[in-house]
Chains A and B, each alone.
Chain A
Amino acid sequence: MEAIVVEGLEKRYGSVVALDGVSFEVKEGEVFGLLGPNGAGKSTTVRVLVTLTKPDSGNASVQGHSVLSDPAAVRQAIGYVPQDSGVDRYGTGRENLMLQGRVQGLGRRDLRARVDELLELVGIADAADRVVQGYSGGMKRRLDIALGLIHRPRVLFLDEPTTGLDPEARVAMWAEVTRLAEREALTILLTTHYLEEADTLADRLAIVSQGKVVVEGTPSALKAALSGDAVHVELADGRVDDARAALAQIDAPVETVLDDGKVLVSRVLDGGRALPGILSALGAAGIGVSSVAVHRPSLDDVYLHYTGRAFEAEHRGAAVQPMRGRGR
């Protein structure tokens, strides 16, 4: 059965098109990832699904309830962990949970027990009676998740659950999400910037770019769909255009998909075989190479392929040229 069905969502904010026909489905019990660059429309999609935002057109349903015609039933079924937390910083963790539980209609006794259970589960029991303002980023995020779980929802929406966490806390959070998904028998929709996160957590994922789902599938299927290898050539002197020109001369199918001023990424059928040709072409043109690496397709490449941006480069904030020759 489908826990989440999204059909042709469109949403504009003034002249900005946030969603441009987003569609996907999530099966019950699945962990589904929405992956995409800044401003792709991930949060907007989630906000429509949790009934915060009304789409201009299209529809979506959660646990069979339409977000448009029966938002009350959707709200009952879901837990939502927003990108911007929304906890009451002047209240304690426990107080935040108690209020959330009250509003979700839990009775006093059940709620007390549930709050204790959740505080343990997300590992902030020691800080339960401290004011949230004094929590670390990781503790706040854990509280956010506990808040989303208080009423034992069937479907949990996590909007960038690990943004702002250090690598260690992030890995801990992944373990937690996996555990929760099993223990609470949850359907989880999570958005993320981290490829590794999507790869680790998601049973299936959709890559979103400019308000559209550009591709959807299991992480391994997405990787498999990219045939060939990626050759990363780091140029010693940054003569990117010369290098491009040199590579264009090669007989073998070498396709230069990206450069960020220093590193050139080429997609080739077989990295091992293409390498000598690439190096001799660069050598003949007198272009210095400081390192070369051959990569089997990674989710990185999938991301690059479908969004036209290098994930790494984007996150370093470097200028990135769009991918050339999208349809290979």
Chain B
Amino acid sequence: MMRAASHTWWMIMRQTRNLMREPIWIALLLIQPMVWLVLYGQLFKNVTKLGGFGTTSYVTFLAPAIVVMNSFFGATWSGMAMVSDLDRKFVERFLATPASRLSLVLSQIVRSALQAALQALVILVVALALGVRVHTGVAGWAVIVLVGMLVNAAFAGVSQGLALLTRREATMITLANFIGLPLLFLSSTLLATSQMPHWMRVAARLNPVNWGVEAARAVVLPNTDWGSVGLNLVYLLILCVVTAAFATWTFRSYQRSL
């Protein structure tokens, strides 16, 4: 267990270091969420007049959801790094060493989640500048970052699993697009649930992206229901464990295929 943890740490260090060498990547990592926040914020500015948003400021409604959306999108791409490591036989090299097998998968998921946490903070700071106030204060910020990490980790597990099963970048891109937008629109990311048709509302309740959005938004708006925030966090946590297990299982099947 100690070995798995320390190996995961070293693998994360390696991935982070490589990313740090990409100035454009860092810039986009930071700018992209801001673009979403500003763009959507302007586009839908007046939609709160429809009612049911819990606030009259659309950007306040939107900011926590952008954290989640960004985490989710980031996660759907996280498997690309695995595909590249598999392609370049980086993974194979470590399979012939005592390297913890778990660390090879887990490091990708944790790295992805840490990235999401960083982006969450950036979005929160930009939102603050745009006048968004997190009603529950510091605890609220912590919850939002945590939600960002959990949503990301949950879907990163899926993405890693698919990377290990398909080992093809083109397939990964297609799959990411295939699940990305539907899950986004089947959530209250952009619009209040009350504005959705009934069947969508039901579907949203089963959508993990929506669990994240609900939890993150609840701590921003007044009248926070901590019970339901906690419940959504637990759901996300369970999903993380399940998808990480899935990723680990696909890793074994990859090993068997060698």
List chain A positions with a Cβ less than 8 A from chain B.
47, 50-54, 72, 75-76, 78, 80, 82, 84-91, 95, 99-100, 102-105, 131, 147
Contact = CB atoms under 8 A, between A and B. Distances in A.
B14 interface: yes
Contact of A86 (B7, B14, B92): B92
Contacts of B95: 51-52
Given A47-B258, A54-B256, A78 B96 contact: yes
Contacts of A103: 7, 10, 94, 97-99
A104 B21 contact: no
Contacts of B18: 88, 90-91
Contacts, number: 68
B92 A82 contact: yes
21 contacts: A53-B258, A72-B98, A75-B96, A80-B93, A82-B93, A84-B88, A85-B89, A86-B92, A86-B93, A87-B90, A87-B93, A88-B14, A89-B88, A90-B18, A95-B14, A95-B17, A99-B14, A100-B97, A103-B7, A103-B99, A104-B97
A50 B99 CA distance: 13
Nearest to A44: B258
A86 B90 contact: yes
Interface in B71-116: 88-99
Contacts of B17: 91, 95
Nearest to B11: A99
Interface string B214-258: 000000000000000000000000000000000000000000101
B256 A104 contact: no
Contacts of A84: 88-89, 92
Interface string B132-145: 00000000000000
- Tell me if B's interface is mostly helix, strand, loop or mixed: helix
B91 to A, nearest CB: 8
A193 B56 CA distance: 73
Contacts of A85: 88-89, 93
Contacts of A88: 14, 18, 88, 90
A91 B14 contact: yes
Interface in B1-54: 6-7, 10-11, 13-14, 17-18, 21
Which one of A51, A90, A99, A103 has the greatest number of beta carbons of chain B within 10 Å?
A103
What 9 A-B pairs come out closest when comparing CB atoms?
A86-B93, A86-B89, A90-B18, A80-B96, A50-B96, A103-B99, A84-B89, A102-B10, A53-B258
A55 to B, nearest CB: 11
B21 A131 contact: yes
Contacts of A82: 89, 92-93, 96
A95 B20 CA distance: 14
B105 to A, nearest CB: 15
Nearest to B91: A86
Contacts of B21: 90, 131
A21 to B, nearest CB: 20
